[in-house]
Amino acid sequence: MNTRVCPASADSLSLAARLLADGALVAFPTETVYGLGANALDADAVLSIFAAKGRPADNPLIVHIHDTAQLEGLCEIPPMARPLMDAFWPGPLTILMPRTPRIPDCVTASLPTVAVRMPSHPVARDLLKACNLPIAAPSANRSGKPSPTTAQHVLEDMQGRIPLILDGGPCEVGLESTVIDICHGTPVILRPGGITKAQLESVLGTVDLAPSILRPLGKNEVALSPGMRYRHYAPEGAITLVTGSEEEVLQALPRLYRQAVADGKTACVLCFHEHMEALRACHPHDLGSRLAPQETAHRLFDVLRELDAEHMDCIYSEVLPPEGVGLAVMNRLGRAAAFHTLAAKDAGKGADKA
């Protein structure tokens, strides 16, 4: 199959809407990451998303809408949903709601709830309006790869697998939506994202965090969100998170880098913009300003893809405080690192003795 990449225009949007209505897949930009869309009411079309991504069938999809009137007949609307929709839609918040039988089982992995979001990206909105269908759309990457934040990333993963990619430039947020469960008592954030815990609490009062956001799932632990079971966002190399004071980390990173290179490995560091100069001998990759976690969110997946393009073996990374958008960054970076963490104080000290 030939995969076309088209800038969003009246013509490409009507082509995309026709393809979706015919049961084909279309990749499109949203403010979070690029999505791989199919008509959510067409089970065969939805199954082809799983095939194109290599996604496990037990990992449910998010349904995208452009108007809350589309919820009619798809799900029940719990009392907490309305204030959330008023405050954060359109935007990067996905809300779980009890579903009706009209949604095919393959969309929700047979769970009793469906995840719904109204994106704010103008191209996503125009597409959703043009086709006027609920669109099931996970991130448009092959499973296990970082989510795509540019049309080029989508092409790398989906060339030959889908007919059309709408190009809307780089995604603004750069990380996937916040997923919140409001169906069982106190609301729970299942996946942190661009809408922060504090923002949600300003509307709902107390909001809990799913326990495995900053650590691996335990052996017999049940994932509240099936996606958490999988090793996502995994580059080919091994990422190590290096923690400690700014001074300790700036001393440890060159030691760790030199040790890896001495061991014959390809190595690099991921560091904040302010440290690029101090770490210039360590093949640094820029995570954006340490004072602006949204910059790190915006760049993270692009940086993770670069690591694979460069075939890095050992990657040593600075960390952010897990607060606000920093929580979403540390959830993705932590999972990319399989939560492998070293204290900077003593890390790599053997390197300089040798």
Q: For binding to ligand AMP (CB under 6 A), which residues are involved? A: 59-62, 96, 108, 111, 113-115, 138-139, 176, 179, 190-191, 225-227
DSSP state of 226: G
Nearer to Mg ion, 119 or 138 (CB): 138
Using CA atoms, how far apart are residues 10 and 182, in angstroms rounded to an integer? 37
Nearest residue to Mg ion, by Cβ distance, number only? 139
* Residue 153, contacted partner among ligand AMP, Mg ion, none, CB below 5-8 A by kind: none
194 touches 326 (CB < 8 A): no
Neighbours of 1 (CB within 10 A): 11
226 burial type by CB count under 10 A (0-12 exposed, 13-18 middle, 19+ buried): middle
Contact call for residues 84 and 177 (beta carbons, < 8 A): no
- Tell me: does residue 149 bind Mg ion (CB under 5 A): no
Give 61 or 71: the residue with its C-beta nearer to ligand AMP.
61
The count of residues interacting with Mg ion (CB under 5 A) is 2
Nearer to ligand AMP, 81 or 242 (CB): 81
d(CA 46, CA 62): 11
Compare residues 183 and 276 and give the one whose CB is closer to ligand AMP: 183
Nearer to Mg ion among residue 59 and residue 259 (C-beta): 59
Q: How far is the CB of 98 from ligand AMP (least distance, A)?
A: 10
Residue with tokens 């809307």: 168
Q: How far is the CB of 340 from Mg ion (least distance, A)?
A: 21
Please state the closest distance from residue 60 (CB atom) to ligand AMP, in A: 3
Which residue's Cβ lies closest to ligand AMP?
227
Cβ closest to Mg ion, residue 139 vs residue 317: 139
61 binds, among Mg ion, ligand AMP, none (CB under 5 to 8 A by kind): ligand AMP
90 vs 138, beta carbon nearer Mg ion = 138
Smallest separation (angstroms) from ligand AMP to the CB of 291: 28
Given ligand AMP, Mg ion, none, residue 136, with its beta carbon under 5 to 8 Å by kind, binds: none
Report how far residue 170's alpha carbon sits from residue 155's, in angstroms, rounded to the nearest whole number: 13
70 contact choice in Mg ion, ligand AMP, none (CB below 5 to 8 Å, kind-dependent): none
Q: Specify the residue for token string 């009411």.
A: 41
| The binder of Mg ion chosen from 12, 48, 59, 139 (CB under 5 A) | 139
DSSP summary character for residue 140: S
Neighbours of 250 (CB within 10 A): 17
Residue 332's binding partner, choosing from Mg ion, ligand AMP, none, with beta-carbon cut-off 5 to 8 A by kind?
none
Q: Supply the minimum distance, in Å, between the C-beta of residue 173 and ligand AMP.
A: 12
Contact partners, residue 11, CB within 8 Å, separation at least 6 = none
- Closest approach of Cβ 21 to ligand AMP, in Å? 21
Q: Which is nearer to ligand AMP, 165 or 279 (CB)?
A: 165
Secondary structure class of 81 (helix, strand, coil): helix
- Single-letter amino acid, residue 118: M
Structure tokens at 343: 């204290």
Beta bridge partner(s), residue 191: 179
We find the least distance from the C-beta atom of residue 293 to ligand AMP, in angstroms, to be 20
Which range binds Mg ion by CB under 5 A, 67-75, 91-99, 138-146, 177-185?
138-146
Per-residue CA distances from 162 to 23, 36, 58, 86 (Å): 12, 9, 22, 34
- Nearest one of 264, 241, 265 to 253, comparing CA atoms: 241
Evaluate the omega torsion of the peptide bond into residue 90 and state whether it is cis, within 30 degrees of 0: yes
- Positions that interact with Mg ion (CB under 5 A): 138-139
